[in-house]
Every structure is written in C-alpha cells, then in structure tokens.
A = this chain, B = another copy of it.
Amino acid sequence: MSEPNVAADQLRLLIERIERLEEEKKGIGDDIKDVYLEAKATGYDAKIMRQIIRLRKMQPHDRQEMEAILQTYLAALGME
C-alpha cells in the first residue's frame, strides 16, 4: 500500500528482532546441551559439571558477600 501503517511496521520490526535474538540464544543453548552430551559420552556427569560451573561462577561473588556480611555483622552489633 502507498500509506503503510508505520506504527504496525515498527512494532513488527521490534518483535522480529527479539524473535531473531531469541533464536540465536536458543541455538547457543543447544550448543551447550551438546557439550554436556559429549561430556556424558566421555563419562562425566552433567549434574556434577553444572555444580562445578556454578561454584566457579559463585566463588568470587560469594567470598565478597561473605566478607561484606562479616563487616556488617560487626557494625550492626556495634562492634566496629
């Protein structure tokens, strides 16, 4: 048409961009799943691998949090 519904197009474009990104994201999710399958085939347990990865991710953060807590514990108890 000569007078396209601009707003509609705009919305559609945004949604299509999101859908494309979500597909990509899903693709990577599948890749991850494949690596787990490969690991499993090699004899590793996926559940344990997930734990390890979580631990590696958490460690810096958690140590920080733990420290923060300690500090604040003392402060809260008026022992600073």
Interface residues of A (CB under 8 A from B): 5, 7-8, 10-12, 14-15, 17-19, 21-22, 24-25, 28-29, 31-32, 35-36, 38-39, 42, 44-45, 48-49, 51-53, 55-56, 65-66, 68-70, 72-79
Contacts and interface: CB of A to CB of B under 8 A. Distances in A.
B25 A29 contact: yes
Contacts of A38: 14
16 contacts: A7-B76, A7-B78, A11-B44, A15-B49, A15-B77, A21-B28, A25-B28, A28-B28, A45-B69, A48-B69, A48-B70, A49-B73, A51-B65, A52-B72, A52-B74, A56-B79
How many chain copies? 4
